Amino acid sequence: MTWLAHHSHRFIGCRSAASAIEFAILSPVFLLLVFGIVVFGSYLTMVHGVQQLAAEAARSSIAGLSDAERASLAAGYVSANAASYPLIEANRLTVASGTPRASVFVVTVDYDASQSFIFTLPTFVPMPPSRIERSAAIPFGGF
């Protein structure tokens, strides 16, 4: 009887490495899931920040008496408060505003996220758009 035949029954019945094999099989899936949560959570943080900037800029602009003053107030709010939002770089923000209808003032904030860390990572899944554009509208007095 050869050595292999003599010890093969012990090797087949051994269960001490089963946990290591299960870990080796499941850990890449788990790490990919956690990595995806972090990456898309970061993207959603940027989207939420841009939306909040647009909403607060629209609220602050209502104090203006003309469209030019409202636009100046909105742009001033965004430039003054952009640094308080995580993952958003103030120099990549643009603000546009106007009155598409006579009774509504709209502030649009556009963010170029193409230089963000999530767009420099290798892609395993389709990536979200690198330009984040959010708008907020505020009516002029009355109901």
Torsion angle of C-alpha atoms 115, 116, 119, 125, degrees rounded to 10: -160
Q: Residue 2 falls within a domain, yes or no? A: no
Q: Which domain holds residue 23?
A: 18-139
Q: Does any domain span residue 55?
A: yes
* Tally of domains within the chain: 1
Judged against a pLDDT cut of 80, whether residue 9 lies above it is answered with no
C-alpha closest to that of 88 among 123, 48, 55, 61:
48
Q: Is residue 96 part of a domain?
A: yes
Residue 12 burial (10 A CB sphere; 0-12, 13-18, 19+) = exposed
Is 89 a member of any domain?
Answer: yes
pLDDT at 1: 55
Please indicate, yes or no, if residue 57 is contained in any of the structural domains.
yes
Sign, CA torsion 117/120/125/126: positive
Q: Is residue 8 part of a domain?
A: no
Q: Within 10 A of 98 (CB to CB), how many other CB atoms are there?
A: 12
Assess if residue 62 is contained within a domain: yes
**pLDDT, tens digit (0-9, with 9 covering 90-100), for 50-77:** 999 999 999 999 888 888 999 999 999 9
More confident residue, 53 or 102: 53
**The dihedral of CA 80, 82, 83, 89: what is its sign?**
negative
Residue 11 forms part of a structural domain: no
Q: Look up residue 71 and give its two tokens.
A: 């636009």
The pLDDT of 20-44, averaged and rounded, is 88
User: What is the pTM assigned to this prediction?
Assistant: 0.78
